[in-house]
Chain A
Amino acid sequence: MLEFENVHVYYGNIHALKGISFHVKEGELVTLIGSNGAGKTTCLHTISGLLHPKRGKITYQGEDITYLSPYKIVKRGISQAPEGRHIFAGLTVKENLIIGSIQRQDSSGVATDLKYMYSLFPVLEQRLSQKAGTLSGGEQQMLAISRALLSKPKLLLLDEPSLGLAPLVVQEIFAVIQKVRNEGCTVLLVEQNAHKALEIADRGYVIETGSIILEGSAQELRANKKVEEAYLGGVS
């Protein structure tokens, strides 16, 4: 479904992605793990079109999307809930959700999907007219995921959805991620919380300073000594 082929990305002189390749198949839940600054977020930003690679190619459903602008990528069916949530704090919860469905013309479909979001995250329905900035961290993450889902993506990119959240909330968010995936949405999940990510993923890639150093099924990665020491140690 998505092919990331030998992608090189620079920030000025800094070589952030040094020829990274990975792929995501339809229906899979794939995770990119690695420590802070390894290049995980850069990968997602490059897929979403916020950054363009200097070399390399990104193919989605057989088509080259390397140089498309972000909104066109959303239109093709890839949406992202970014790291740090980035909800529109000054807008109401309802307005945030409207923005999520901004490109859709099927208002009845949007209404159905909104109801579905309220069933996933009942708290959002109670807070519709509230400014999104007044939500708790967990609620903001729920809003960010709902906003991304409302564009009706075929591929959902999630960047650190567990960041800064209480364990119980993380549990809830991860349950929703699994649910979304079970209903047919392909998911690419970026996490520092490798333990949690590998629990629900099918496959994973380990990124270190701009290169992929390991890949395999979630099971293999969990069993891998190196992964265990570097990313799973102490987290349980």
Chain B
Amino acid sequence: MGALNYIVQQTMNALSLGSTYALVAIGLVMVFGVLRLVNFAHGDLMMVACYTAFFLVATGLHLGLFSILIIAILVATLVGILMERVAYRPVRGASNIITLLTSLAVSIFIENIFVMFASPVPRSFRSITPLFLNIVNHWGTLVVSNINLVIFGVAILLLIFLLLFVTRTKLGISMRATSEDLMAAQLAGINIDRVIVTAFAIGSAIAGVAGILWAARIGRIDPLMGFTPLLKAFVAAVIGGFGSLAGAVLGAYLLGFAEIFLIGFLPPSLSSYRDAFVFLLLIIVLLVRPNGILGSIEREKV
């Protein structure tokens, strides 16, 4: 019984961690799909949402948790849209190395603005986190915390919403068409600017949600907090296949499981090397399937 309980609990942890990665990875893959750009500033949008929530609470306006979260997510969305407009649109069509450097620059810029004006000292996120999230349920011999349930639930809801969006709406279908073939999308009459802005808006909003969930879990925020989830989401997307949303989600959950179970099963003396093992997993996947698990081999142009 003890072993089974342990596995169930670790599975819950893995699902919650994987869900966070999935939410971040989706935004990354959406933007990559339409622009062929890895947006390294994507993780910073998580941070922007968290600080917005933090400062809204600090103002003492008593806005209510729900409106604070909505505003925080909206701010992250606006920053994402602004990012595209100001930084990425001017370099659209430039070589990969230029867009890569641009996204690194945007990331460093945003992080340093927060370091300067919000101080690099980590802040507690407990004041924002509603108390019920900290409740730990004892179901028989099982121990499951509310925060893990909420993270998993929110992720599943958002994933269903996204699935419906990309398969049932004209804009969603346009987005898939654009990420598949930019030229054909333009010739078919798709306004690609609109599609790209939509990808940024949705990706940023989801990053905002992911940021708040992430911060609620670990209980504190700092200006560089977006880096680790971004890196993990990037690895998840590469493992799953950078081209597809399904691949990103699959990769994220695989990564979540790998991390949690590595900590669980490795001897304590090795568990601090878990990231090394995670990246080892990445290398193995890339050796066996260079385009990721669900990635297709680039089709040859006829």
Contacts and interface: CB of A to CB of B under 8 A. Distances in A.
Q: A and B: partners?
A: yes
A99 B299 contact: no
B189 A79 contact: yes
Contacts of A50: 183, 186-187
A87 to B, nearest CB: 7
Interface residues of A, number: 30
B177 A99 contact: yes
B174 interface: yes
A102 B176 contact: no
Q: Tell me if B's interface is mostly helix, strand, loop or mixed.
A: helix
Contacts, number: 77
Interface in A82-105: 82, 84-91, 95-96, 98-100, 102-103
Contacts of A54: none
Contact of A99 (B173, B192, B193): B173
- For the complex of A and B, list the 5 residue pairs with the smallest distance between their C-beta atoms, beginning with the closest: A74-B189, A86-B184, A70-B186, A71-B191, A88-B177
Given A85-B302, A88-B180, A99 B186 contact: no
A133 B154 CA distance: 34
Contacts of A74: 187-189
Interface of B: 170, 173-174, 176-177, 180-181, 183-193, 299, 301-302
Interface of A: 48-50, 69-71, 74-75, 79-80, 82, 84-91, 95-96, 98-100, 102-103, 147-148, 151, 164
Contact of B185 (A90, A99, A148): A99
B4 to A, nearest CB: 41
A89 B299 contact: yes
Contacts of B193: 69
B176 A86 contact: no
Contacts of A164: 302
Nearest to A140: B302
B302 A75 contact: no
